[in-house]
Structure 1
């Protein structure tokens, strides 16, 4: 029996890479490497470019320390995410769904989707800008072309995790190589660069960009992604195997995130060296940066390499958002979309705002959108970081792999830094919005939204502590094995619903239902008529198919009654999923038995098998007869 479908993260590739079969020692070690590189591309996507260029051109190397701090924060948090996935075998979204109340999970899911949309917006704009710089393609056309990478991702997924990882690593090598060459052209003063590692925020404008840098570097959806990607490696369940997997994944994270730091630092240093020192303090546009690089550095290759790296960054980071979206939706909602549908929905959420801005404001506002998308990412970060810290600090779930007290203190310090920066930013923006708005209803909406998000944040922080406190007051011997067995023996099903489609597949459904039935059990047979007439007229339909289905149902009921079972038949009409759920509820059934096959309709293309949609509409267990 099951109340949901396969719980494994990224089920198609879960445990698909087996390091134990990789040959010699070094190949076994390298078999663990890969997940962090898929995560790292999110740390060097086009959204980072906008914040890094804006920071470098306006403040020189002053904000370099923010990049370093963000990278260290990212390394710790990604390591915690990898630890969670390896030890518990569950991703961050699944763990959140298990812990928090449903309404909190819906809010957390919504915020996570906003973060993915913000990240995807940066990828869409970055790709469009890169294509425009390289080939002169109009921005609107470039944005629309980004729909095509939907099919590239699906192709890569079919090739398997290792080939997908190799593709991403190749793109990272292109980005790194381009900026290594750019730095060679720019020849920055290393002494001045080192001064940028001293913490300093000169003004509110720098604070806004600093928060954007944090949002662009420490991305909330990457925490969900990493906890699932590490599960693509097949490891043993013993302590030694788990410790080895954690150690190699930490090393993987260190290498990958240091590469990401190099790329981000190179962009900021390049902007500081070329623009800030030349008195060009207002270069916040990627297009302007591209135009100015060649004349200022004296080489046309500087501009070409810049554009090539931008396209590579946009293309590589598109994988991150899609996989993270899949993990978040399946983890929080237990809803599995068709991969094409999932990718198209995610991409459209990014393309629509971009197209609207281009049509209304023109290309000049694109870089402002990029920076805003990264600030938006930063504001979602606490809602992923705080649950993550709670989960890896839970000794009941993590056992000997619970993080140390020192790591807990540092992790909570990072959370406090993120929260403090965001609270300051939100407070300043809310004051501006309230000052500009004379509409009392709009002011009420702003205050109400901020209050609601604050309440959810407080629940996210303190709810796990309340649960632990309650658990500490309970008798740990309250439920012995004998008690649990006694409770199980008392369970019986008064009414069992059977979903039939009047095919040879019904045999299995009837077989299992009859085995589950006891003396007091009633069987409720369900069939949904889906003829054209039934779709229009519902239960008033009297076409041939409806009459045949009614006769077949009566025959099934008579045969079961002849065998001594209490059985009734109910026909549903129009929508199969809605009708099955309604009949189960109307008849107060305790269990639903269905076949493992599904009807191939438009809804199944979007939502998967019938049971995957029905189970969300009912509160009783589901038995899948295979």
Structure 2
């Protein structure tokens, strides 16, 4: 190998490493406590039945997160900013913001409760105070983002992501699943209304609206200065067009790495529950799962599970708050002090904890609420990224748009099926 190539390799690796990050931060949304509750509950109740839902959700998430990042890279604007500019009616912007804010609150329910449960499992902290601590740490992480910049925020979140990965995958190596049963779980099917509810919950936890909003903003913050902003980016100069194309290639790698990590961890959660917790009474709750893991695989696995849950709550609530602040700024065009906003969005979670509602039930139901918020983020995203006046030559190809439409139809159809089954009493 030529000496120049040898010297250039480390520099090239550093450049590639610098480009990675936004998708890993957004990917934390796929590993929040709602995912833990949904996947563990699905595995404990139905074994390998819903493996296909996790795999399908992850595949759809790759496409959706790439489209969101592409919008931020090419235009230099987030999805919320783009929508805010195109919504002429102030009433329409406020209505759109309201539904997004309700979804953000449902997100906080899952993340704050998950952190509170983890603190209770690890240190015996009362749930309400655990929720307050989790929310407080999220404020500190947001101050890091505001004061130290996007890269420092990414590094902190990626560190928590590594902790999450270790916490939720370690047990699978001690209790490996049955390969034939895993393959059987790839066949799409349901077993009654409750399995549909859990499928919607898994998808709501996997493809989260705030991750769609956040990823475009994270990509904008990191890459917009390096790419040509605006819909005519690709026509304004050869060098700038190449820079944008390179950023998009790097973004595809970033999204791929993030979703491989997230998909592996999500699948590991369900497989661990299916292998270890199926048929064990009380294991469809986080507390019961923690106790059963300790009894069957030892205290180290149970402790790592709780540590992963805590890291999940801390990281995901910070990313969710980042997305909420972006939505408010872009749609309402007002800036609210960080602490005030966090108190407002955390209020439902703290009320749930104060009332003594079953934490795992609240987590699973919050993911269903998120599932119903997906179309409001996904449909505009697919539509905008297919438009030449928004992305120029970087607009979606026909097959990409078709895949995005198929994902939206599938998610909306699953939600409709869920409503029909629940209200029909079947």
Same fold judged by TM-score > 0.5?
yes
Aligned-partner Cα distance in 1 for 2:168–2:342: 30
Aligned counterpart for 1:43 among listed residues 30, 46, 51? 30
1:565-576 equivalence runs, <5 A: none
- Give the CA deviation at 1:281: 6.5
Q: After TM superposition, give the deviation of residue 202 of structure 1 in Å.
A: 2.2
- Cα pair 2:283 2:292 within 8 Å, conserved: no
1:85 matched to which residue of 2? 72
Task: Summarize the Cα distance change of 1:107–1:431 in structure 2 as closer, same or farther, 3 Å threshold.
Answer: farther
Could you tell me whether the CA contact under 8 Å between 1:47 and 1:374 is conserved in 2? yes
Counterpart of 2:63?
76
Q: Which residue of 2 aligns with 1:301?
A: 300
Shift in Å, 1:427: 3.6
Q: Structure 1 regions of 5+ residues with no counterpart?
A: 1-22, 433-626
Which residue does the alignment assign to 2:226? Answer: 235
Q: Is the 8 A contact 1:150 1:340 kept in 2?
A: no
Equivalent position of 1:222 in the other structure: 211
**TM-score, length-scaled by structure 2:** 0.90
Give yes or no for contact 2:193–2:418 (8 Å, CA) kept in 1. Answer: no
Partner of 1:323: 322
Q: Which of 272, 275, 280 is matched with 1:273 structurally?
A: 275
> What is aligned with 2:289?
289
**CA distance in 2 between partners of 1:411 and 1:69 (Å):** 13
Of residues 147, 159, 168 in structure 2, which corresponds to 1:170? Answer: 159
Partners of 2:142 and 2:318 within 8 A in 1 = no
Contact 1:389 1:412 survives alignment (8 Å): yes
Q: Higher strand proportion, which one?
A: 1
- Tell me, yes or no, if the aligned pair for 2:108 and 2:345 is still in contact at 8 Å: yes
Decide whether aligned partners of structure 1 residues 128 and 403 sit closer, same or farther in structure 2, where only a CA change above 3 A counts: same
Q: Deviations over 1:61-103 (max 9, x none)?
A: 1101100100011110010001111112111112222334523
Contact 2:282 2:289 in 1 (8 A): no
Count of residue pairs brought into register by the alignment:
402
Please give the per-residue CA displacement for 1:383-415, whole angstroms capped at 9, x wherever unaligned. Answer: 110011110011122110110010111110001
**Higher alpha-carbon deviation: 80-89 or 345-354:** 345-354
Secondary structure in structure 1 of the residue aligned to 2:187: coil
Name which of 35, 49, 61 aligns with 2:48. Answer: 61
Query: Is contact 2:134–2:313 with CA below 8 Å preserved after alignment?
Result: no
**1:404 equivalenced with 2:397 (yes/no):** yes
From the superposition, tell whether residues 246 and 218 of structure 1 become closer, same or farther in structure 2 (CA, over 3 Å): same
Cα distance in 1, alignment partners of residues 144 and 303 from structure 2: 27
**Contact 1:85 / 1:228 at 8 angstroms: preserved in 2?**
yes
Q: Partner of 1:255 in structure 2? A: 257
Per-residue deviation, residues 227-254 of structure 1 (Å, max 9, x unmatched): 1110122313221111111111111011
2:130 aligns to what?
Answer: 142
Match of 1:416 in 2: 409
1:159 corresponds, among 148, 153, 160, to: 148
Question: For the pair shown, which has the larger CA radius of gyration, 1 or 2?
Answer: 1
Q: Which moved more, 1:57-66 or 1:150-159?
A: 150-159
- CA distance in 1: counterparts of 2:338 and 2:57, whole angstroms: 32
Deviations 1:17-41 (A, max 9, x none): xxxxxx9222222211111111011
Supply the distance in 2 between the matched residues of 1:165 and 1:212 (Cα, whole angstroms): 27
Q: Distance in 2 between matches of 1:236 and 1:171?
A: 29
Distance 2:422 2:196 in 1: 13
Give me the CA root mean square deviation. 1.8
Question: 2:220 and 2:88 mapped to 1: Cα distance?
Answer: 26
- Residue 120 of structure 1 corresponds to 108
Matching residue of 2:39: 52
2:193·2:421 contact (CA, 8 Å) conserved in 1? no
Which residues of structure 2 form unaligned runs of 5+? 1-9, 229-239
Q: Report the alpha carbon displacement of residue 319 of structure 1 after superposing the two structures with TM.
A: 1.4
Q: Residue 17 of structure 2: which of 25, 30, 35 is its match?
A: 30
Equivalent residue of 2:61, what SS?
helix
1:54 Cα deviation after fit:
1.1
Q: What is the CA–CA distance in structure 2 between the aligned matches of 1:123 and 1:395, rounded to whole Å? A: 37
Structure 1 match to 2:233: none
Distance 2:289 2:343 in 1: 31
Q: Secondary structure at the match of 2:293?
A: helix
Equivalent pair of 1:178/1:305 in contact (CA under 8 Å): yes
